[in-house]
């Protein structure tokens, strides 16, 4: 049995940090940090999602985000803040940006959406890798060689299962999650 996903809640308002942790602890392993420095100590490869307050005394959420990205941790980060977004967000490497106040279902939906996007990205990468292997074999082997190969049959099965998983994940995604993965580039005047 695998361990539940891990969420790091970074919030300098202790009561709010504890409230978020309570809301999430039923489904996730939750770590809490009440400063930027503590957040960096608690962030590691086991963390799947970080809910990061932007304005904190000492090391700000912006600085924590930058350092997390510099560490190349495979983690989704949502800025959860009272700060309305401005053009400075263009340079920031977050996965989502939400403005407080947030309620229980907002927080749970945010984490669930980030985890779904993460799984979708990983599964899509796997699908492309499998498709490349299939293409390489199909372009260099005869139909008889392919038909006789157990490895090729397993590869095709893996491809089909992965494609089915992609379809399943897409059906579970909310419109906002799907838009975050496939941003509508037609909305931007380039």
Q: In what order do the strands lie in the sheet with 76-81?
A: 29-33, 6-10, 49-52, 76-81, 96-99
The reported pTM is: 0.74
Q: For residues 25 and 34, is the Cβ–Cβ distance under 8 A?
A: no
Three-state DSSP state, 157 = helix
* 8 CA to centre of own chain: 13
Give the tens place of pLDDT for each residue, 53-109.
998 989 999 999 999 999 988 899 999 988 787 787 788 888 999 999 999 999 999
Start-to-end CA distance of the chain, whole Å, equals 48
């Amino acid at each position: 049995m695998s361990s539940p996903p891990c969420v790091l809640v970074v919030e300098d308002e202790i009561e709010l940090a504890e409230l978020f942790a309570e809301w999430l602890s039923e489904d996730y392993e939750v770590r809490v940090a009440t400063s930027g420095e503590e957040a960096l100590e608690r962030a590691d490869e086991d963390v799947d999602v970080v809910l990061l307050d932007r304005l904190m005394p000492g090391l700000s959420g912006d600085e924590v985000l930058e350092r997390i990205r510099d560490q190349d941790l495979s983690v989704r980060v949502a800025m959860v803040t009272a700060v309305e977004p401005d053009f400075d967000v263009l340079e920031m490497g977050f996965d989502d940006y939400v403005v407080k106040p947030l309620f229980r279902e907002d927080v749970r939906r945010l984490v669930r959406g980030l985890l779904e996007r993460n799984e979708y990205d990983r599964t899509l990468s796997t699908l492309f890798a499998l498709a490349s292997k299939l293409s390489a074999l199909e372009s260099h082997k005869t139909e008889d060689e392919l038909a006789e190969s157990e490895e090729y049959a397993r590869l095709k099965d893996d491809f089909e299962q992965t494609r089915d998983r992609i379809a399943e994940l897409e059906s579970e995604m909310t419109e906002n999650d799907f838009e975050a993965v496939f941003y509508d580039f037609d909305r931007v005047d380039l």
